[in-house]
Amino acid sequence: MTVSNVLAEGFDLYKRFFWRFVATAAVVFVVLDLVSAVADRAAGGSVTSEVLWSLIAVVLSFIGAFWLQGALIEAVRDVRDGRIDTTIAELYERTRPRLPALIAAGIVAGLAIALGLVLLVVPGLFLLTRWALIPAVIVIEKRSAGESFDRSWQLTRGHGWTVFGSLFVAYLFYAIGQGILRALFAPLPNFAATWIGGLVAHSITTPFIAAVGVVLYFGLARMSVGVEPATPQSSE
């Protein structure tokens, strides 16, 4: 498995099911970016209003981001056979029971990676690479937050450069895409530019990262066990 193969498969899924992924992401970002726009406007008002809307934005963004992450993983897994078998509502419903584990693992991993980046940079990048599959492991294998760290570490062992290179290009695409798409809406009034520009930019670019992550997971899991990994069926 190479970086080019991972990116090619991820982009193929992203391109073929583009509108499915965009719609899945837009369900969350239409709210998150609206709240961000309101919080941005409130920054020019009273201190109480600014603090309140900033707090609401942080809480909703925190929960929404993890829920969306899980739903996009489910969306990519769903279409790997070439067809859509679930509704967008079902994607979020299937992910809901995994949300506490996603949040717990995300907090721990995020703090450790951030500390590594602040101290020496390299340790942070190393942890980011070895823990890259935590969300996919939690959603697809239904593992607990604690188990997901060991499982991701096991799957990525010996494939660090492939994982790092794939994620680096995916996030580069994300950053460039964000910049271009947001610039298109910059001439609009500030509120509309923040809300609509953010909604479009986030909804279009975020699914590509999920696609690359799921392709990495299935590729490394298949190499680890020698066959396509079995995944528990949802009881929902």
DSSP notation for 72-91: HHHHHHHHTTSS--S-HHHH
pTM for this entry: 0.84
Determine which of 28-37, 129-138, 153-162 has the lowest per-residue pLDDT on average. Answer: 28-37
- pLDDT confidence of residue 114: 84
- What is the DSSP code (8-state) at residue 227? S
Domain boundaries, the chain: 3-225
* Longest distance between any two alpha carbons in the chain, whole Å: 60
For 205-217, the pLDDT digits (tens) are 999 999 999 999 9
Residue 53 has pLDDT above 80, yes or no: no
Cβ atoms within 10 Å, residue 227: 8
Cβ atoms within 10 Å, residue 133: 25
Buried b or exposed e, range 72-81, using 16+ CB within 10 angstroms: bbbbbbbbee
